[in-house]
Amino acid sequence: MNWNEQQLALQNTVSQLGAELSKHHIEWDRRAEFPREKWQLISKSGVLGLLFPEQYGGTGQDLLTSMGVLEQLGHCCEDAGLNFVTSTQIVSIGIPLLRFGTDALKQKYLPDICSGERICAHAITEPSGGSDAFNMSTTAIFENDKYILNGSKAFISNGPIADLFAVYLLSDKNKGVMGGSSVFLVERGTPGFEIGEPIEKMGQRTSPLCELRFNNCEIPVDNLLGNIGMGFSILDYVMKHEVLCSFIINVGEMQRRLEKCIDYARNRKQFGQPIGSFQSVANKIVDMKIGVTQSREALYRAGKRVQNKQNATIDLAIAKLVTSENNVTSARDAIQIFGANGYMVEYGIEKDLRNAIAGTIYSGSSEIQRNRIASMIGL
């Protein structure tokens, strides 16, 4: 990317926060606690409003510019959980609200989304429907000018800390996926809406996740996002942005890891030589360089197509797949390069592997992306 001065200045603003955002990141991870004071920094940085018009408190940047800033966030902030909270905040509600929402809903919620005042989450997955996302049993039934929600959701990132939820559900069981699913905005505290306790997990431990339950939860018609029956189109739109905004952060994280490994391999000596002079160590670092370059190029290529409103289905699938898998490989190799130090929590290297693995599962698992690519090439 040939970034112009204004784009570089935006990236630089975020980079300067790196030390503060990364402070005590190993302790936060150990405690599996959301670093709320760092959320204030993220909120003030302007990152949350990048993609939204000024009238809602954003800065109205285009998609590629925003991706450039998010890549820098990944590069400078060593708390991958916090980074994931940030991308979920941007894509889960703000993005579909701007595209599909009524003026009234935009005015009500977008300013607080851009300022970080309200934390957002989106709830698609259910115990019965993960990869098969629309195999859901949460329903909305229209009764007396309101929708009544019943059902439950699983693995909802930001759930324990969120104030506003985009809930995907069936509004007409007879119509199936196309036309039968819809999205409602549900506020924390709505009667009949229960938010579960944080669930312990392998990585991204500063990004809390939980279950949600709806028990005769009444939602006003005005809180419907888009039209009734638009659930599938809205999710498709959100997933494009989730792949671009969330995984470009992983590219920044991979770049930082690469730099750490180069530095370590130059300075750590064994048999009287820097370990980087041993070809099998150097090759691992070369593969890390190839992985991050390939991922970056794939994501910006897909981002360009989305920004230009071109079909990007196969580009997004390839970009998501290579980035998530390269991230796991690079995190695994970094541990090997750091030897025993890499395996020790205090070096902050081992948590990269725990964090990276989630990316091969959410936003459409690696297997689902391969299915998509296979069908796009006519198999």
Ligand X SMILES: Cc1cc2nc3c(=O)[nH]c(=O)nc-3n(C[C@H](O)[C@H](O)[C@H](O)COP(=O)(O)OP(=O)(O)OC[C@H]3O[C@@H](n4cnc5c(N)ncnc54)[C@H](O)[C@@H]3O)c2cc1C
Q: What angle do CA 328, 333, 339 make, to 5 degrees?
A: 135
Whose structure tokens read 């360089």? 289
What distance separates the 2 farthest-apart alpha carbons in the chain?
80
* Contact status: 320 vs ligand X (CB under 6 A): no
Q: Which one of 211, 242, 253, 350 is the catalytic residue?
A: 242
DSSP string, 206-265: TS-EEEEEEEEEEEEGGGEESSTT-HHHHHHHHHHHHHHHHHHHHHHHHHHHHHHHHHHH
Q: How far is the CB of 282 from ligand X (least distance, A)?
A: 33
DSSP string, 336-375: HHHHHHHHSGGGT-HHHHHHHHGGGTSSS-HHHHHHHHHH
Contact range with ligand X by CB under 6 A, out of 45-53, 169-177, 262-270, 364-372: 364-372
Buried-exposed string 137-155: b where 16+ CB fall within 10 A, e elsewhere: ebbbeeeeeebbbbbbbbb
Complex with ligand X: residue 121 or 230, whichever CB lies closer: 121
Contact range with ligand X by CB under 6 A, out of 95-103, 144-152, 285-293, 354-362: 354-362
Complex with ligand X: residue 202 or 290, whichever CB lies closer: 202
Q: What are phi and psi of 167, to 5 degrees?
A: -110, 125
**Beta strands in 70-204, from DSSP E residues, in sequence order:** 120-123, 139-143, 146-157, 164-170, 181-187, 193-195
Residue in 123, 195, 234, 254 binding ligand X, rule: CB under 6 A = 123
* Contact status: 135 vs ligand X (CB under 6 A): no
Q: How far is the CB of 360 from ligand X (least distance, A)?
A: 8
Q: How far is the CB of 369 from ligand X (least distance, A)?
A: 9
Residue in 134, 155, 165, 232 binding ligand X, rule: CB under 6 A = 155
* Secondary structure letter of residue 131 according to DSSP: S
Residue in 122, 205, 256, 372 binding ligand X, rule: CB under 6 A = 122
Q: Say whether 242 is catalytic.
A: yes
Task: Count the site residues for ligand X by CB under 6 A.
Answer: 19
Per-residue binding string, ligand X, 76-115, x by CB under 6 A, is ----------------------------------------
Per-residue binding string, ligand X, 239-268, x by CB under 6 A, is ------------------------------
CB 337 within 8 A of CB 352: no
Q: What angle, 0 to 180 degrees and rounded to 10, lies between the N-to-C axes of helices 5-15 and 63-76?
A: 30
CA distance 352 to 364: 20
Restricting to residues 183-212, which ones interact with ligand X according to CB under 6 A? 204, 209
Q: How far is the CB of 130 from ligand X (least distance, A)?
A: 2
Instruction: For residue 42, count CB atoms less than 10 angstroms from its CB and return exposed for 0-12, middle for 13-18, buried for 19 or more.
Output: buried
* Secondary structure letter of residue 198 according to DSSP: P
* Contact status: 156 vs ligand X (CB under 6 A): yes
Complex with ligand X: residue 50 or 358, whichever CB lies closer: 358
Q: How far is the CB of 203 from ligand X (least distance, A)?
A: 8
Complex with ligand X: residue 58 or 364, whichever CB lies closer: 364
Complex with ligand X: residue 85 or 281, whichever CB lies closer: 85
CB 338 within 8 A of CB 347: yes
* Contact status: 368 vs ligand X (CB under 6 A): yes
Which residues lie closer than 8 Å to 132 by C-beta, 6 or more apart?
none
* Contact status: 314 vs ligand X (CB under 6 A): no
Contact range with ligand X by CB under 6 A, out of 6-14, 141-149, 241-249, 360-368: 360-368
Complex with ligand X: residue 65 or 181, whichever CB lies closer: 181
* Contact status: 293 vs ligand X (CB under 6 A): no
Complex with ligand X: residue 63 or 209, whichever CB lies closer: 209
* Contact status: 179 vs ligand X (CB under 6 A): no
* CA neighbor of 94 nearest in space, from 78, 112, 76, 74: 112
- Residue at 31: amino acid letter: R
Q: What is the contact surface with ligand X in residues (CB under 6 A)?
A: 121-125, 130-131, 155-157, 204, 209, 358, 361-362, 365, 367-368, 371
Catalytic machinery residues: 242
